[in-house]
Amino acid sequence: MSLQHVEDALRATAPPQNSALTTLRGDLPDRYLTPDDIAELFEVPKETVYQWRKKRTGPPGFRVGKHIRYDPAAVHRWACERMAADAV
């Protein structure tokens, strides 16, 4: 998966920069990503996403009740860090 593919997918979840919605939401993303979204984004099984979380090797997530959610910006940072580590 290329960085451009990740950036395009994450950009699709972000509101326009100068919209009233951006102001009202305080720069929060339009929606947080689910484990299904992460699995689809990186083309891995959902079980892999859960293993990443258990081993603390995947993108940082947080709980909302019983649900796991991911901040698109944090996922983007994690993907960039992984690509930089692979390049070394």
- Residues 37-48 have a mean pLDDT of 95
Percentage, residues of the chain above pLDDT 70? 69
Q: What pLDDT, on the 0 to 100 scale, is given for residue 30?
A: 78
What's the average model confidence in pLDDT over 55-67? 96
Cβ(13)–Cβ(29) under 8 Å? Answer: yes
Q: Are residues 10 and 72 in contact, defined by beta-carbon separation less than 8 angstroms?
A: yes
Please enumerate in sequence order all residues whose Cβ is within 8 A of that of 55, keeping only pairs 6 or more positions apart, or say none: none
Confidence of residue 29 (pLDDT cuts 50, 70, 90): confident
Please state, for a pLDDT cut of 90, what percent of the chain lies above it: 60
- Beta-ladder partners of 62: 69
Model confidence, pTM: 0.70
Task: Label residue 48 exposed, middle or buried (CB < 10 Å: 0-12, 13-18, 19+).
Answer: middle
How far is the first Cα of the chain from the last one, in angstroms, to the nearest whole number?
17
Q: Is the pLDDT of residue 55 over 90?
A: yes
Query: Which residue(s) pair with 61 in the sheet?
Result: 70
